[in-house]
Structure 1
Amino acid sequence: MPNPELMPIGVFALRSGLTPSALRFYADSGVLPPAEVDPGSGYRYYSAEQTARAILLRRLREIGMPLTAVEAVLDAEPEDASRLIDEHVEKVVGNAATARREAVAIKASLADVPSLPVGALKGPVLAAAVEQVLTATACDPGMPVLGGLRIEASPEALTLTATDRYRLSTRTLVPAEPAATTWAATVNGDELRAAVAEIRRSPLVRVEATPYGVWLRVGNREGRVGTGDQHCRLLSDEFPDYRLMLASLGEATTRVTVSKERFLRALEEHPGSRVTLRVDHGGIHVLPTGDAHPEIPLSAAVTGQAVRIRFELTTLYPAVSTAIGPDMLLDLRGPDQPVTVRSADRGDLTALAMPIHPGHSA
């Protein structure tokens, strides 16, 4: 008779999430042998101590890890196991990126659709602009367009815009080579992030549009896919009407010029997840969250009305950190209206940050 503390294969399958047939396969492979096999019936029995190994085995297989690698992880110390998992994920991600690039090239050859030149920009400039503007995106499964970057091209300029409804960031660039016509679309933000490292290394990047995506070409290879060229898919959902949002903003009632470095340092030193600012002719005061933390005063040039305004740190900090230049300009319109953040001497990058409504509980 089997040990009464052991589980038959059906019970162990339910507990581990593996099917009985999978358990038989892993037993025959030597990865997860049963604790006991009845010599007469051949029935397999498992112990409760084997449950954790079985669950880990299942989870590793769910991420596509080969059986030999799974066995190595199961028998490794935690540090080595983590390294092996990281190596597997890195390989999977690399294979997926390669497959995506090849799929794009194949589709382009099948469709035989010529690309539309959208403009050319210096690679480091374009990479920096993409990183700055993408700080205003959000991962929202219900509205994937909020994770995208709106690109609008004309012969005079190329404008990048992103918004998550609480923040908005937009930057206008002067192309090194202008577009022949106007064009606009929303590009997958995650794929643009992945492309940044490559385009930053290119002196010149040509942006070309197709019906299904944009090519970022890092050399003089129009119409041909090069090893460094990057492709990003388009998002089909309608992008929020940010121009209407900007046009509907009221006049600033308070204007502040402050050192970006000092403002960032104050936000970093602030211990809370929400930041309250008191702005008056004495400057900006980052208010404490409790008696244990002192107020942080900042020297600033202030004109207009005094105002007290509160932000989520995750909303305000990116808007401040991506500002261009040593000094930044804040246009405030009251405690419940968007704040405009831009460089004190350059206007090609503008960010909006939505404060917490005064009636919202702390």
Structure 2
Amino acid sequence: MPHSELMPIGVFARRSGLTSSALRFYADCGLLPPAEVDPDSGYRYYSAGQLARATGLRRLREIAMPLATAEAVLGAGPGEASRLIDEYVGTVLGDAEAVRRQAALIKSSLAGVPGLPIAVLMGPVLADAIEQVLTATAREPGMPVLGGLRFEADPEAVTLTATDRYRLSSRTLVPAEPAAVTWAATVDGDDLRAAVAEIRRSARVRVDATPHGIRLRLAGRADQHCRLLSEEFPDHRLMLASLPEVTTRVTVAKDALLRALEDHPGERIALSVTGQAMSVGAHPTSPLPAAVTGPALHLSFELITLYPAVSTAIGPDVLLDLRGPDRPVTIRSADRGDLTTVAMPVKPDQST
């Protein structure tokens, strides 16, 4: 190839974003050999056609991908390359999570203070409760506490609560053994999500408080450590205590309501309660049979607010306590009150 069509290593370095020393290293590794080497001076030249590979190599190395894996990605088709990248990222995240958890355990042991026993709970029940309540969390910049779960224990019960400011979900659990102390803190939601699978496989889970988190002691399995969030949790008790009086109460089959929500095409859903039926959508074709006490009412919800509240309810029937078109709605099981969600309606949308 004529030299006029080639780039000296310095020019190629600037265009590819790689340093000259990196290019020499990748050439020696066989990952990116130069198009031509001057036999007298040893100077290296690269072609424009090599820029795509050089740029791809730079990006893969920016995420610390090993050379062997990067070579496999560069030599693969788009589908296989994507799979290899996903596989690498999954390995990195798994390793990072294992390191973080081990570091948290080491830090808790450095404090020199044994964990404070809080409560003993049935593992599968605790895992279900965590998953149900965490549907009301949110990732919001500047407010990490909205991604956390409030853990409150007293001698009679353990209560888990989460809120994204549009929903509030709370579940009360009866401990397998009475809680040792009265204790409350906000636990990192991501840590709990990561621990759920292990919690579910343990018949009993002992919850201990440490200086910076909670240690979940699992029967026959490795301990799980979850961080505490230092930000103040929203005053959910005040919000619940200040709820207006219920005006209309509706009991409807959970599965039927979920199907109606799933079949609705829009992101905003209109609910109408009249007589002994609940209608989903502005122009419903099949009202849902319901037990209704109180006056007729029309209100609207965002699907992402209403659906999780209904889907996590316990039991075959859902009870909705309505207070008006712009007032919070309480959603819970018709026969069990240990999981409760409070959801905010939105202003009615004429397009639903």
Q: For 1:273, which of 254, 261, 267 is the aligned residue? A: 267
Q: How many percent of aligned residue pairs carry the same amino acid?
A: 72
Write out per-residue CA displacement over residues 323-359 of structure 1, whole angstroms, 9 at most, x where no aligned residue: 0000010111122122110000111100011122348
Matched residue SS, 1:324: coil
Equivalent residue letter for 1:20: S
Aligned pairs, how many?
352
Equivalent residue letter for 1:120: V
Structure 2 unaligned runs (5+)?
Answer: none
The answer on whether the counterparts of 2:150 and 2:162 sit within 8 Å (CA) in structure 1 is yes
CA distance, structure 2, for counterparts of residue 166 and residue 8 of structure 1: 60
Question: Could you tell me which residue of structure 1 aligns to residue 190 of structure 2?
Answer: 190
Write out per-residue CA displacement over residues 18-69 of structure 1, whole angstroms, 9 at most, x where no aligned residue: 3333233222222122334445554444344333322322222222211111
Question: Could you tell me which residue of structure 1 aligns to residue 327 of structure 2?
Answer: 337
Residue 4 and residue 352 in structure 1: after superposition, are their counterparts in 2 closer, same or farther (change >3 A)? Answer: farther
Residue 8 and residue 114 in structure 1: after superposition, are their counterparts in 2 closer, same or farther (change >3 A)? Answer: same
Within a 5 Å distance, the mapping from 1:282-301 to structure 2 comes to 282-288=276-282, 295-301=285-291
Question: Could you tell me which residue of structure 2 aligns to residue 319 of structure 1?
Answer: 309
Write out per-residue CA displacement over residues 255-306 of structure 1, whole angstroms, 9 at most, x where no aligned residue: 11000000001111111121111221141111258xxxx6442111122222
Matched residue SS, 2:141: coil
CA distance, structure 2, for counterparts of residue 204 and residue 227 of structure 1: 11
User: Bigger CA drift: 234-243 or 8-17?
Assistant: 8-17
CA distance, structure 2, for counterparts of residue 36 and residue 8 of structure 1: 10
User: Bigger CA drift: 342-351 or 244-253?
Assistant: 244-253
Question: Could you tell me which residue of structure 2 aligns to residue 238 of structure 1?
Answer: 232
Question: Could you tell me which residue of structure 2 aligns to residue 155 of structure 1?
Answer: 155
User: Bigger CA drift: 321-330 or 91-100?
Assistant: 91-100
User: Bigger CA drift: 301-310 or 11-20?
Assistant: 11-20
Equivalent residue letter for 2:110: L
The answer on whether the counterparts of 2:105 and 2:225 sit within 8 Å (CA) in structure 1 is no
2:265 is aligned with 1:250: no
User: Bigger CA drift: 207-216 or 11-20?
Assistant: 11-20
The answer on whether the counterparts of 1:137 and 1:164 sit within 8 Å (CA) in structure 2 is yes
The answer on whether the counterparts of 2:202 and 2:221 sit within 8 Å (CA) in structure 1 is no
Within a 5 Å distance, the mapping from 1:48-127 to structure 2 comes to 48-127=48-127
CA distance, structure 1, for counterparts of residue 35 and residue 346 of structure 2: 59
CA distance, structure 2, for counterparts of residue 334 and residue 26 of structure 1: 68
The answer on whether the counterparts of 2:270 and 2:348 sit within 8 Å (CA) in structure 1 is no
State the TM-score, normalized to the length of structure 1. Answer: 0.90
The answer on whether the counterparts of 1:149 and 1:186 sit within 8 Å (CA) in structure 2 is yes
Residue 246 and residue 25 in structure 1: after superposition, are their counterparts in 2 closer, same or farther (change >3 A)? Answer: same
Question: Could you tell me which residue of structure 2 aligns to residue 222 of structure 1?
Answer: none
Question: Could you tell me which residue of structure 2 aligns to residue 223 of structure 1?
Answer: none
Matched residue SS, 1:302: strand
Matched residue SS, 1:256: strand
Residue 360 and residue 284 in structure 1: after superposition, are their counterparts in 2 closer, same or farther (change >3 A)? Answer: closer
- Deviation of 1:11 after TM superposition, in Å, equals 4.4
2:254 is aligned with 1:264: no
Matched residue SS, 2:170: strand
